[in-house]
Amino acid sequence: MAKSGGGFWKGVFWVVLVEVVVCVIAALVIQFGGFPMGADTHASKLEARLGEWTHDSWVKNHAPDVADPVAVNDQTLMEGAKLYQGNCAACHGGENYTKSPLGRGVYPGAPQFMRFVEFQKTHPNFKPRKMSAAQEQARDNHGFYVIKHGIRFTGMPAWKYNMTDTQIWEVVNFMHHMGHLPPDVAAAWKQMPLSPIAVPAAAPAMPAKAGKSGKK
């Protein structure tokens, strides 16, 4: 009995020792600038996998499960186009702006949503995979959640400080119709500037806590 008890504590000792050594090595690597923090470096496969896993689980467990409250019509798509072109195109690409250098300059890079639109234009016979109503709703809810809250440790901002929920839904709907917009919305989108649009009066104010770092 006493012997096996001693073996147990020996095991604990070695596990703790190995952990301490690993932590010390990691701290030294960080302290001497060995961990690249530039946005022009690339994550290891392990880091990328961990990031994807954390992101997917977060969205899966927290995204709402609601029906899209905004009707899809010319007017709401036009609003979505303005919001997208003014706020998102700089990173994600827009009409007349298909490969965003800014989107490449953030790390991880911003997905270029116009690529799919261009593909659809050059492949008119391409039929996107049919989705069930439930799958479409889940896709829209995920989009809404990610746009509202942003993605930590990436260039993707939380848009809840700039947009109302209704506006976020308008952007979500617009993004899913980018490749097959009604002709008048498509034509208007082409003319829209990339500059940021004014913050709407109805947007929620920044939380008081946001100024915390100003105390320093």
**Residues engaged in binding ligand HEC (CB under 6 A):** 55, 87-88, 90-92, 106, 108, 110-111, 143, 146-147, 151, 154-157, 159, 171
Pick the closer one to ligand HEC by CB: 103 or 188: 103
Strand, coil or helix: 193: coil
Q: Which residues contact 201 (CB under 8 A, 6 or more apart)?
A: none
Pick the closer one to ligand HEC by CB: 40 or 208: 40
Please report how close the Cβ of residue 150 comes to ligand HEC at its closest, in angstroms.
Answer: 8
What are the residue ranges of helices labelled H in 32-181? 45-62, 74-87, 89-92, 101-105, 114-122, 133-149, 165-177
Pick the closer one to ligand HEC by CB: 82 or 188: 82
Please report how close the Cβ of residue 76 comes to ligand HEC at its closest, in angstroms.
Answer: 15
Pick the closer one to ligand HEC by CB: 58 or 120: 58
Longest dimension (CA), the chain: 84
Chain-centre distance for alpha carbon 127: 26
Please report how close the Cβ of residue 1 comes to ligand HEC at its closest, in angstroms.
Answer: 53
